[in-house]
Structure 1
Amino acid sequence: MRTLKFLLRKEFLQIFRNKLILRMIFALPVIQLILLPYAATYEMKNITLSVVDHDHSEYSRKLINKFTSSGYFILTDYSATYNQALDQVENDKADLIVEIPKGFEPDLSRQNETIIFLAANAISGQTAGLAVAYANTIIKDFNNDVRTEWIPQSQLNTIPVIEITNSNWFNPLMNYKDFIVPGVLALLVTLVGFILSSLNIVKEKEIGTIEQINVSPIKKYQFILSKLIPFWILGLVVMTIGFVISFIVYGIYPEGSFWVIYLFAGIYLIALLGFGLLTSIYADTQQQAMFIAYFFMLVFILLGGLFSPTENMPDWARYLTYINPVSYLIEVMRMLVLKGSSFWDLRFHFLVIIGFTIVFNGLAIFNYKKTV
């Protein structure tokens, strides 16, 4: 125990002598939690709109006003022809074209039908799909308003009406930030736990102190624990800072128990630190360790369900998420922060992460050789 105490003291001294690590520990949560939820959002607003109105009627003006007052579209161009509007799309000045045909109001009044043409800039398929979906909803609402205006009040009272009420659970306002912030917290814990631990043993190799440790009477488990514990504590500190920032900036407070959150995060960090040490054992330089860490972090994030649900992934990718520890932390953070899940609700996640902990740390201990 006395030996471990001295080793931990050495590790903490090395960490706090590195000013860059200290800046990362405190600056990383602040920057990522403030920037990412605003930058990484699927809420489509301010869609630029180009209108080609061949009718210039009262109804066409009402339809255009319906678009601009929705809060999703900004009218940036009013073209005389479709080709002029298409030039705006090609110059990235418009995302959607709405072409209203000549005779729009007469056809709607006399024949009870008309045609509106929509053309979307589909370079980003998601943006185009949402823009067209919003436009279809707005046109449908406009159509209902027109029908209501034409139907006499006496007949309107006799028409059957189905009133729909809805309730949004766990995220009542459907705020995307409430969805992304718990995932960013999981990402912060992963960055600190995995990348810093990946560089740990490699740094000892580069400065030559690993040989001194190998010839000393330090036991293998003492050396591994001395490498795990400091970054385990730092990971929990970063998560605490993240929770404080989430509450101050976004007003997000976990619905679940903090004890369950920190218990799962503590076990998760042990697993991830073991994996980081395992990569550090095989790497000979810090550049190699950074490359390996970057590769795995990219895979972990893309297959972790941070930006989109894992259920939307193809089958082969969804199977890979089962062996991705980051996906379990992201899911647990959202379940605890938004749903208020209990320990019993997360029993399967606990069992899986404990399995990762045993495997990664077992491999790290087994593969570390005290040889010169």
Structure 2
Amino acid sequence: MKDIFDNCQFGDLKLKSRVVRTGLWQTQSIGELYDKYESMAKSGVGLIITELISVYPKDKFSEYSIRSGAPQFMVEAKRLADIAHEHDVAIFGQIEFIQFNRGIDLNIDINDLTIDDIRQIQSDIIVAAQKLKLAGFDGIQLALGNNFFLSKFIDPYFNQRLDNYGGDTFNRMRLVLELVKVIKTNLDFHVSCKINAYDGRKGGIDKDESIEMCKLLEKVGADSLQVTKPLSPLYFTKDVSEEEELVEFSQKLIKEVDIPVILGGGFDSQKHMNDLLNKTDIEFLSMYRPFLAESDFLKSWKKSGDGVSRCKKCNNCYRTKTSQCYHF
């Protein structure tokens, strides 16, 4: 029988539970952030994925994000890694951005990027990965899902380019595939990719193409995948049909790849999570909002064996772009 608190292998890493904490916004002081990480790491989480780390200072969400170019970034990143490792918890840095800016030209459209722009994006992400590696992180997570820039670049709904970076699935994935290959060739670093199960728009990525994209990522060296939906976690409500759709997709994906797959989906019940683990091939589950409602809730879950998060799924933490719970 699988249990969320199993010691388990996650690619090249050993985790002390199947629970993955995934991050989003960061509006707290650095001291509060250290305390939150300490609390999460001590509680029984297996892997911590940080809040958004933006590679661009003028990005749309840079006000609510950790920035890899900030003067204090290395010191703060090293402290976060040290906190996680003090409690035998793995930690990934989540690298994302919404807008690419070229000097005074802001928010350059995907279809207007030059080859030099594409090389700049790849270079900036590689530099951010190098910084995280030097800070002691175990890996990075590339944001190819939700509504971030790279998720749009690989999506035919947005990408209408006529060169080698547009058109078929491989060409739209080329920027990311080149990026993953360079990181894996030059850094001993776990690369995880967060990807949408589908787009939902007419002419966007469907489930079959998403699986093909995941297979390409594995082929160039990606170590793990995290399944999500566009605009998540806003769409993760109490509607069980949403979860069933992602479970079905994840089941199919797991049969097509040989790397770990993390499923995210608004989980809040220990019993439900354990039931899901034992009724499917899914082995890793991610959570975000419950850690805002109570950063160390896993500690009480482990004692009781039947824990339920106090998170109300109101999504105010998402809408207000804060990293704090509205109710608690």
- With normalisation by structure 1, the TM-score equals 0.23
Greater gyration radius: 1
- With normalisation by structure 2, the TM-score equals 0.25
- Greater strand content: 2
- Greater helix content: 1
